[in-house]
Amino acid sequence: MNALAGANPPVLLDVRWQLSTAGAAGAAPFDGRAEYAAGHLPGAVFVDLDRELASAPGGRGRHPMPDVEVFGAAMRRAGVSSGRPVVVYDGGQGWAAARAWWLLRWTGHPNVRVLDGGLPAWEAPLSTDVPVPAEGDFTPEPGATGGMGAANAAGMLDADGAAALARSGVLLDARAGERYRGEVEPIDPVGGHIPGAVSAPTTDNVAANGRFLPAEELRARFKALGAGEDGEVGVYCGSGVSGAHEVLALAVAGIPAALYVGSWSEWSSDPGRPVAVGPDPQ
C-alpha cells in the first residue's frame, strides 16, 4: 500500500485466471473479467491471460507465447512503461500473475513484482471503478530478460532445449505428482513426463496461505531436487503458466531458471516424442 502513495507508483495488473471448469457437472467457465468488475485493487487494469499473455492453443501448446505486438499493445493499454514499476496479482494461486511477471521480465521490463498471496493478501477496500490509464511506452524486446537471469541467454526453452537440459542440467516438472507419474492426465493427450525431468510440484513452494515459503526454505527444497546455484535449470508444467510460478519461486531462492513455455501440452501433442512414466526421472 505504501508503494501506491509514492512518487512513482506502480502500474497494477489484475490477471485473475484459472483453468476452465467448463464441462464439469454444474460448473461454468471462470470469468476473470467478471471477477475484476466485482472488485479489484484501486487503479488496477485487467489483463486477459488467454488473449493477451498467450496465443491461441494449437501445436505449440495450450498457452503458447503471445504475438509480441499483441502483448506489447496490451501492456501499453494498461499503462506499462519501462521507467515505472509494475505489480501483478491474481486471485491468490499466483500462477497467472507469475506468467505476466515472466513475460514482462523476458521482454525487458526492469522492475516487475508479484503481490505474494494475490488478492486475498490485500487488506484495504477494493474498487469497482475501471481506470483508463495514460498510454504506456513499453516496447517488448524478446529475450532481453530484464535482468532476470536464465539458464540460457533468452530464459526460454523450446522442446529440443528442454530435452537437452533434462540430460545436461536440471529440468523441473511443476505439475502435480500424479500427472508426472502418468497416473492421471485430465487435460493433455497422454500422461507422464519428459525423460530425465524431476518432479517438483509448484504447490510445494507455498505455505497454506498461498504465499511463498521463505527464501532459505525454497533454496533447500530446490537443492534437494538437484537445482542449486550452479548449473542450468529449466522448468515446465502443463502449458507454461504454473511453470512460470516455479521460475518465480526459483528467483526468490536466488536460482535463475528458464521456462519451457510449450510445456507438456506441446510435448505430448507430438507422438514421436518420448514419454516417461512412474516416479523416477528416466
Mutual angle of helices 242-252 and 95-106, in 10-degree steps: 70
Q: How many other β-carbons are positioned within 10 Å of the β-carbon of residue 249?
A: 27
Contact 38, 98 (CB under 8 A): no
Question: Whole-angstrom distance between the N-terminal and C-terminal Cα of the chain?
Answer: 47
Q: Name residue 61's beta-bridge partners.
A: 58
Please give the full DSSP string across 142-189, using - where no structure is assigned: TT-GGG---SSSSSEE-HHHHHHHHHHSEEEE-S-HHHHTTS--SSSS
Q: Name residue 236's beta-bridge partners.
A: 173
Q: How many other β-carbons are positioned within 10 Å of the β-carbon of residue 69?
A: 9
Active-site residue identified among 78, 114, 148, 237 = 237
237 a catalytic residue? yes
Question: Residues with catalytic annotation?
Answer: 237
